[in-house]
Amino acid sequence: MMDKRDFKGRVYGEISRIAKAISSPRRLEIIDFIANGEKCVEDIALQTGMSFANASQHLQTLKKERLVKARKDGVQAYYSLASKEVYRAWKGLRDLTLALSPHVRESLDQIRISNGYGLAITLDQIKERTDVRLLDVRPKDEYQKGRLPEAISMPLGELEERLGEIPKDKLIIAYCRGMFCTLADEAVKILREKGYKAQKIETSVREYELSLE
């Protein structure tokens, strides 16, 4: 029979192993990135500023601990989160860090100030408003896998050439991959420079979907 010390040692050892797998800043960034949808290794390497080899190594660590899953399409490997619980764990860790770390809060304030919009707006603040246009500035493949209600796809790279589609008599709300993604910050900066009333929302699509459950 297993005594209580063996039981606790085994359980806490397993939890510690999973925590170790996500303790790397790079692996946390990967989890946050692919929460928006399946990505190939090249896209993950480009997003995180890593070499293909380093990205692959981090992905293998996450896969070994069943935090991500992979599929092959020819010679290309695609990765996605293994379950919603992985995203919940990441969100819980993020929220704990926001509560405990003044450095993270200061960094968020600095990026908001540098892009000229102050505090981000929330979904609750705009859900009853009729003078709002919501823009999803992520790549189209991410928009197709999920979006916020009433959002229009306008990837950041297409924004300036599609300004004629955006009404100037509405408040334009941009969003991207969540709190630590800067695509929406860049979109707000462009829009404000062009004379639009623009703001950012920090809620990610995955975070919104979980709030409905």
Give the per-residue pLDDT at 120: 78
- Tell me the average pLDDT across 2-20: 93
Please say if the pLDDT value at position 138 is more than 80. Answer: yes
Total domains, the chain: 2
- Tell me the average pLDDT across 95-120: 85
Tell whether 56 is covered by a domain: yes
Closest of 207, 87, 83 to residue 148, by C-alpha: 207
Tell whether 104 is covered by a domain: no
155-194: pLDDT as tens digits: 999 999 999 999 999 999 999 999 899 999 999 999 999 9
C-alpha–C-alpha distance, residues 80 and 66, integer Å: 11
Residue 9 maps to which CATH number?
A: 1.10.10.10
Tell whether 107 is covered by a domain: no
For residue 9, how many other CB atoms are within 10 A of its CB? 12
Tell whether 98 is covered by a domain: no
Residue 149 maps to which CATH number?
A: 3.40.250.10
Tell whether 100 is covered by a domain: no
Give the per-residue pLDDT at 117: 66
> Are residues 128 and 179 both part of a single domain?
yes
Give the per-residue pLDDT at 108: 86
Tell whether 157 is covered by a domain: yes
Model confidence band, residue 61 (pLDDT cutoffs 50, 70, 90): very high
Give the per-residue pLDDT at 119: 72
Query: Which of the listed residues 86, 105, 132 is the one where a domain comes to its end?
Result: 86
- Averaged pLDDT of the chain: 93
- Tell me the average pLDDT across 136-158: 95
Quote the tokens at residue 204: 């990610």
- Most confident of the ranges 58-62, 112-116, 189-193: 58-62
> If residue 198 lies in a helix (H) or strand (E), which one and from where to where?
strand 197-200
> Are residues 121 and 195 both part of a single domain?
yes
Give the per-residue pLDDT at 33: 96
Instruction: Tell me which residue range forms the domain holding 126.
Output: 116-211
How large is the C-alpha radius of gyration of the chain? 19
The residues carrying an active-site annotation are 176
> Are residues 132 and 82 both part of a single domain?
no
Q: Torsion angle of alpha carbons 104, 206, 18, 13, nearest 10°? A: 100
Tell whether 15 is covered by a domain: yes
